[in-house]
Amino acid sequence: MKWSLLSDHTVHLHFWDDECVAYNKRSGDTHLLGPMATQIVLKLQQSPSDALTLAESIKLLPTDETNDELPLQIEHMLADLDQLSLISFS
Amino acid sequence: MNVSSLTPSELASRLRNAGIRLQTGSFITHLQTAIPSVAEGIGLLYSDYPLAEQGDFADFHVDLIPPRNLRRWFKPQVLFLSDGSPPFKPLPLDQAFPMFEWGLNWCVSSHANNYLIIHSAVVEKNGYAAILPAPPGSGKSTLCAALVNRGWRLLSDELTLVRVSDGKIIPLPRPVSLKNQSIDIIQRYEPGAIFSRKVSDTMKGTVAHMKPPSDSIFRAAETAQIAWIIFPKYQAGSAARLEPLPQSRAFMRVADNAFNYSLLGTEGFETMVRLIDASLCYDFTYSVLDEAIETFAALKPPTSPT
């Protein structure tokens, strides 16, 4: 089971610097994604993935002190992105 | 033929009977009213605007009439009708001309969905447009009025129209709405500017409208390329300060200020992306108009697609 981005017919993305704006055609909502969520979305754009694999490939922000909590943070962020109907788990 | 081709009595008579077809930017409004203060405001502030022929197509059909109730005699009121229906409750008769201006804004923002419509002022120089989105009280219209009296072309002081098909900014130069202290500030700043008479006790306080420079009206068919999105904020005592704003943040703030972003769906998102992509985005704090003018004069357009 892996996380994947919804098709680009449903979710439109545009990237500026380290942030991203996502438009969900189904809900009509627009979301501003911060740097970590943007990295996750970029990785999922390349291929479906799971939290652990994402944690290994995602760069820490300068403000993050340790990598220990990264998998948990990514789990939470994936749940948030799922809640916004930008990604799905299958 | 312009509004100024008619004498005040001819204008009032036309308005009372068949009405006039007033061209503002790409819209034609068929206006009928017997209210003298509206005729006076049109004659004063719209004198340079073209009139379409009587049989021509009109985008909006507007009547300003007294409501049919006892208020006709006691504290008289005015009702704004669009296509024969009142979108708003009546206002005191004294507010008839401001109500025409607010009602016309409503007509455009509610119907012109081939444009992404942003609640913001927009001005142009050398082909490049600066959009100034901001909430009421931020000094947006004051800054806009100052800029258009110092060489910038007025595209609109209230509604930025971004054409969905190509992202160009479409002019809608109409009188600049000023309120409270801003009226005196701009009257002092540009003593030659023409103002409607002040109307007090409106929902916005005391309001007056300033006639746009004639050049802005004559060039109303000339589109402009977006270059800057600047969120102005008047802050007493502050030096003029322009701070870069990440484009992703600017996107969300401009979308918040758009009337029909959600209604346009994917087209709205794509038009907004194109707008933001082509813009340098800033927060701008100011307190002295001359400093603000200098800051705007020093703006450099984007050198290439950002």
B88 and B152 belong to one structural domain? no
pLDDT above 80 for A67: no
Residues of chain A with pLDDT > 90: what percent? 72
Count CB atoms within 10 A of the CB of residue B48.
18
B202 and B66 belong to one structural domain? no
Q: What's the Cα-to-Cα distance from B130 to each of B2, B125, B292, B300, rounded to whole Å? A: 29, 8, 13, 11
Average pLDDT of every residue of chain B: 95
pLDDT above 90 for B275: yes
Q: Which of A12, A17, A19 sits opposite B266 (nearest CB)?
A: A12
B143 and B105 belong to one structural domain? no
Domain boundary pick from B89, B111, B133: B111
B255 and B122 belong to one structural domain? yes
- Residue B29 included in any domain: yes
Take residue B30 and report the two structure tokens written for it.
């068929």
Minimal C-alpha gap between A62 and chain B (Å):
18
Q: Which chain A residue is nearest to residue B274, measuring alpha carbons?
A: A14
Sketch the domain layout of chain A as residue ranges.
3-89
B107 and B127 belong to one structural domain? no
Supply the pLDDT for residue A57.
85
**Contact yes or no for A28 and B247 at CB 8 A:** no
Chain A environment of B266 (Cβ under 8 Å): 12, 23, 25
Q: Which of B248, B262, B276 sits opposite A28 (nearest CB)?
A: B262
B282 and B169 belong to one structural domain? yes
Minimal C-alpha gap between A39 and chain B (Å):
15
How much is the average pLDDT of B16-32?
Answer: 97
- Residue B183 included in any domain: yes
User: Would you say B194 and B95 are in contact if contact means Cβ atoms under 8 Å apart?
Assistant: no
Supply the pLDDT for residue B216.
97
Minimal C-alpha gap between B60 and chain A (Å):
29
**Contact yes or no for B265 and A28 at CB 8 A:** yes
Supply the pLDDT for residue B253.
97
B91 and B125 belong to one structural domain? no
Supply the pLDDT for residue B284.
97
3-state DSSP call for residue B279? coil
Of residues B158, B152, B138, the one with CA closest to residue B285 = B138
- Residue B302 included in any domain: no
- Residue B95 included in any domain: yes
- Residue B304 included in any domain: no
Q: Which of A20, A23, A32 sits opposite B269 (nearest CB)?
A: A23
**Phi, psi (deg, nearest 5) at residue B137:** 90, 0
Q: What's the Cα-to-Cα distance from A58 to each of A44, A67, B109, rounded to whole Å? A: 11, 10, 44
B86 and B161 belong to one structural domain? no
Chain A environment of B265 (Cβ under 8 Å): 25, 28
B120 and B17 belong to one structural domain? no
Domain range spanning residue B200?
115-297
**Contact yes or no for A30 and B266 at CB 8 A:** no
β-pairing verdict for B27-33 and B20-24 = antiparallel
Q: How many domains does chain B have?
A: 2
B188 and B231 belong to one structural domain? yes
Q: Which of B246, B261, B262 sits opposite A17 (nearest CB)?
A: B246
Minimal C-alpha gap between B303 and chain A (Å):
17
- Residue B306 included in any domain: no
Supply the pLDDT for residue B61.
98
B168 and B34 belong to one structural domain? no
Q: Which chain B residue is nearest to residue A14, measuring alpha carbons?
A: B273
pLDDT tens digits, one per residue of B114-172: 999 999 999 999 999 999 998 878 889 999 999 999 999 999 999 999 999 999 999 99
Report H helices in chain B.
8-16, 36-45, 96-111, 140-148, 181-189, 214-218, 247-256, 261-264, 266-277, 289-297
**Contact yes or no for A23 and B262 at CB 8 A:** no
- Give A2-33 as a DSSP string: -EEEPPTTTEEEEEETTEEEEEETTT--EEEE
pLDDT tens digits, one per residue of B177-215: 999 999 999 999 999 999 999 999 999 999 999 999 999
- Residue B166 included in any domain: yes
**Contact yes or no for A30 and B265 at CB 8 A:** no
Distance separating alpha carbons of residues B14 and B2, to the nearest angstrom: 13
Q: Which chain A residue is nearest to residue B249, measuring alpha carbons?
A: A32
B156 and B277 belong to one structural domain? yes
Supply the pLDDT for residue B1.
92
pLDDT tens digits, one per residue of B77-116: 999 999 999 999 999 999 999 999 999 999 999 999 999 9
Distance separating alpha carbons of residues B98 and B22, to the nearest angstrom: 16
- Residue B42 included in any domain: yes
